[in-house]
């Protein structure tokens, strides 16, 4: 829930007692009607003073940015019995309604548990002794993004850029990842998500070594991870933590999808207000945010959020993130189990993506031939963004901001289109070779 921006509350564990003693909301009555509810701050991964500093930095860097009061976002935790339909029990929908009717409350909604946006999360095939030629998404010659061409350009291996991946688990000491010495900056790990996170990191930044599976941005300066999993944790909170650890021009990947409140279809995470606000603040600071479109095969333009708005339709407020759809590996690229719509900026391979994987904490040698869905596609686009930023730093001593990067990656003139072009609603696939050869960055900084 979010109170109105003008409401001033302690942003710590004193808030429950404060509400008991004031008339901001009838908190004692709500606790009597819904026994067992508790309230806590939504953003606890960074201190309130740092939240405000990030807002100030975003406003300084982006004149267009109009931030909400982040210190009015809270979470109400519900006891299990509040969600039952048993006689004599209040329903959780009643709590949302009761909160929404209060003058001091700007919005109240239920946010479902998030999940990884991989289309085929089961039956991962592990093969040994991989070879880089199996990673055909690296080359334009095989319908990929032209990363192999970019590697011949100073900075084209991702040097100078920091990267953070947000999801739930990784094997960070995998043989193709351990040299990065990635740190988990926040959250807990969920074992069932290990394979997914390991593949994502591998696609983006597997190191150049004798094991031959090479990441798109294999020489990135720093790789770290943030988990949204764990007690009293949430996705918006994790985005805020990642934002605080990155500098303008760095890259943040959101390997998450959420169910929309009406249809329960899996969609891009910014459908919910807290996630949208956290993403937009990061973008305003110059952080390049890559966001999976989700794997429901629905038109995002038709999706309605908890407040009855259409957050992905033309004319809706823009978070500034790069939203990524998925397509077949072979040309002509056809959308494959992906969400689509006017807000989707880019696509990449959503099948047959060869990448490291891990089936347990001690599995540091596994590889998968078919990482897929908008998970693989988003990882590919994140790698492309890091590569371009590395080139900008090396050649021009400049950094693209988030909106500039989105414009460059999604420009049809230097990209690969899907089978039906923009009519497919999945944007375009970046072609790093074309972007470099046509001097796009030089034109941008001239």
User: Which string of DSSP letters, residue by residue, matches 317-350?
Assistant: PP---EEEEEE-SSSSP-B-S--BSTT--EEEE-
Position 189 pLDDT exceeds 50: yes
Query: How far is residue 3's CA from residue 274's CA, in Å, rounded to a whole number?
Result: 12
pLDDT digit string (tens) for 209-268? 888 689 999 999 999 999 999 998 999 999 999 999 999 999 999 999 999 988 899 999
Is the pTM higher than 0.85? The answer reads yes
Query: What are the backbone angles phi and psi of residue 106, rounded to the nearest 5°?
Result: -80, -40
Query: How far is residue 395's CA from residue 388's CA, in Å, rounded to a whole number?
Result: 11
Contact 225, 166 (CB under 8 A): yes
CA 111 to chain centre: 16
Mean per-residue pLDDT, 78-95? 66
Position 88 pLDDT exceeds 50: no
Q: What pLDDT was estimated at residue 90? A: 64
Task: Spell out the domain ranges in the chain.
Answer: 2-107, 132-445
Q: What pLDDT was estimated at residue 121? A: 40
Query: How far is residue 446's CA from residue 442's CA, in Å, rounded to a whole number?
Result: 6
pLDDT digit string (tens) for 47-86? 999 999 999 999 999 999 999 999 999 999 988 766 544 4
Q: Chain-wide mean pLDDT for the chain?
A: 93
Query: How far is residue 248's CA from residue 281's CA, in Å, rounded to a whole number?
Result: 12
Q: What pLDDT was estimated at residue 87? A: 41
CA 87 to chain centre: 40
pLDDT digit string (tens) for 102-153? 999 999 999 888 888 875 544 344 443 345 788 999 999 999 999 999 999 9
pLDDT digit string (tens) for 196-220? 999 999 999 999 988 868 999 999 9
State percent of the chain over pLDDT 70.
95
The CATH H-level superfamily of 132-445 is Peptidase S8/S53 domain (3.40.50.200)
Query: How far is residue 380's CA from residue 351's CA, in Å, rounded to a whole number?
Result: 12
Query: How far is residue 163's CA from residue 177's CA, in Å, rounded to a whole number?
Result: 13
């Amino acid at each position: 829930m979010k109170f109105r921006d003008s409401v001033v509350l302690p942003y710590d564990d004193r808030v429950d007692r404060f509400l008991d003693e004031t008339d901001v909301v009838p908190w004692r009555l709500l606790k009597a009607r819904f026994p067992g509810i508790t309230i806590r701050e939504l953003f606890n991964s960074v201190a309130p003073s740092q939240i405000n500093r990030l807002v100030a930095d975003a406003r300084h860097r982006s004149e267009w940015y109009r931030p909400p009061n982040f210190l009015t976002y809270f979470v109400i935790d519900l006891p299990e019995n509040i969600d039952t339909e048993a006689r004599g029990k209040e329903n959780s929908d009643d709590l949302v309604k009761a909160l929404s009717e209060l003058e001091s409350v700007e919005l109240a909604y239920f946010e479902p548990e998030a999940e990884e946006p991989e289309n085929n999360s089961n039956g991962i095939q592990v093969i040994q002794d991989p070879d880089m030629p199996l990673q055909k998404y690296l080359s334009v010659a095989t319908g990929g993004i032209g990363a192999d061409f970019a590697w011949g350009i100073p900075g084209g291996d991702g040097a100078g850029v920091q990267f953070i991946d947000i999801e739930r688990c990784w094997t960070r000491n995998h043989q193709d990842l351990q040299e990065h010495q990635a740190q988990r900056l926040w959250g807990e790990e969920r074992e069932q998500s290990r394979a997914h996170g390991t593949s994502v990191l591998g696609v983006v930044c597997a190191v150049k070594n004798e094991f031959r599976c090479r990441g798109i941005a294999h020489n990135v300066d720093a790789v770290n991870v943030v988990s949204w999993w764990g007690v009293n944790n949430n996705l918006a909170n994790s985005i805020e933590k990642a934002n605080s650890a990155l500098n303008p021009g760095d890259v943040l990947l959101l390997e998450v999808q959420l169910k929309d409140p009406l249809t329960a279809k899996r969609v891009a995470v910014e459908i919910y207000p807290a996630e949208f606000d956290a993403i937009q603040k990061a973008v305003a600071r110059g952080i390049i945010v890559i966001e999976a479109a989700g794997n429901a095969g629905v038109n995002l333009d038709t999706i309605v959020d908890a407040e009855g708005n259409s957050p992905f339709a033309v004319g809706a407020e823009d978070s500034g993130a790069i939203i990524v759809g998925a397509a077949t590996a072979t040309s002509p690229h056809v959308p494959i189990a992906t969400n689509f719509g006017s807000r989707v900026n880019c696509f990449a391979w959503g099948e047959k993506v060869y990448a490291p994987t891990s089936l347990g904490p001690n599995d540091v040698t596994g590889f998968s031939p078919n990482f897929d869905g908008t998970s693989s596609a988003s990882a590919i686009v994140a790698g492309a963004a890091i590569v371009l930023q590395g080139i900008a730093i090396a050649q021009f001593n400049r950094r693209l901001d988030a909106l500039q990067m989105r414009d460059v990656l999604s420009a049809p003139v230097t990209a690969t289109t899907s089978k039906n072009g923009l009519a497919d609603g999945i944007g375009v696939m970046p072609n790093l070779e074309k972007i470099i050869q046509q001097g796009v960055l030089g034109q941008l900084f001239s």
